[in-house]
Amino acid sequence: MEKKEVRVGKITFGTKPFVFIGGPCVIEGREITLRTAERLREITKGLNIPLVFKSSYDKANRTSVSSYRGPGLEEGLEILKEVKDTLGLPVLTDVHSPEEARVAASVADVLQVPALLSRQTDLLIACGETGKAVNIKKGQFLSPDEVRYAVEKVESTGNRRILLTERGTFFGYHHLVNDFKAIPVMKRLGYPVVFDATHSVQLPGAASGVSGGEREFVFPLARAAVAVGVDALFMEVHEDPAKAWCDGANSVDLKDVAAMLATLQRIEEAL
């Protein structure tokens, strides 16, 4: 199938260099969000790597009902809009219902369909109908080939601004593995493929009501993904992962991002 490029503002997915999608798992407040976004902009600008800032106003799929979910739709979108307006960055956020998709599209440049919702027809169609870029995260329960059906749901709206994300497959209880064949397999659908290096090392539900993680494997998996030819890298980034309110165990420390991206850039340049 003909390879499609997806434009998000001034950024193009599907060409070199790879795009970096990074930011905290969930919005923890205005100041930390802006601070993190500004630092990521400095890092990626210095390396000439395109950046899409990501963070969520609501994490509706947390393991426990007592876990922090986010500031909510209205406040969260206000903070993301400030990131856009003050730093000039495109933003990505999760949506969980057709109603949310329509509201979030007023701010977000990329609407992300969470992996656990990647078969929800109404959500996929609503995202497509906004005309915004749609990032479909491959469910942990789906084969790479099955992603085509999610793609067809978005395409049915006439929207061809689609990204596909590999983020691991269930391997027994509390564990995910990556089959790197998934990247070229999903590329056959013609759309840019993203590799989520941080959720791939998540240990779902393994830490007494929250998900654990193996952060030390983020960088090795990211290197492999770039070598295979991924179009973008997705990472959750926090200035102090030990204190993150969501997914700290698998988040990358902000201070490590520059060196990590520089190495990944050299791998891509060698291809």
- pLDDT, tens digit, for every residue of 115-125? 999 999 999 99
Give the CATH number, domain containing residue 148.
3.20.20.70
Burial string for 243-253 (b: 16+ CB within 10 Å, else e) reads: ebbbbbbbbbe
Whether residue 21 lies inside any domain: the answer is: no
**How much is the average pLDDT of 227-245?**
97
Q: Is residue 76 part of a domain?
A: yes
- Cβ contact 93:80 at 8 Å: yes
Q: Which domain holds residue 192?
A: 6-15+31-239+247-270
Domain count, the chain: 1
Q: pLDDT of 56-105, one tens digit each?
A: 999 887 777 878 899 999 999 999 999 999 999 999 999 999 999 999 99
pLDDT band at 208 (very low <50, low <70, confident <90, very high): low
pLDDT, mean of residues 102-114: 99
Average pLDDT over residues 159-166: 99
Summarised one tens digit per residue, pLDDT across range 248-260 is: 889 999 999 999 9
- d(C-alpha 159, C-alpha 106), whole Å: 17
Whether residue 42 is predicted with pLDDT greater than 70 in this model: the reply is yes
d(CA 139, CA 135): 12
Q: What is the DSSP letter of 29?
A: -
Q: What is the pLDDT of residue 207?
A: 62
Domain membership flag for residue 126: yes
Asked whether residue 177 is domain-assigned, the answer is: yes
* pTM, 2 dp: 0.95
| In-domain check, residue 26 | no
Is residue 22 assigned to a domain?
no
In the chain, what percentage of residues exceed pLDDT 90? 87
Average pLDDT, the chain: 95
**Cα separations (Å) of 118 from 59, 100, 108?**
15, 15, 19
The whole-number pLDDT of residue 204 equals: 82
212: in domain: yes
Question: Residue 24 domain-assigned?
Answer: no
The pLDDT of residue 66: 76
Write down the pLDDT at residue 3.
Answer: 86
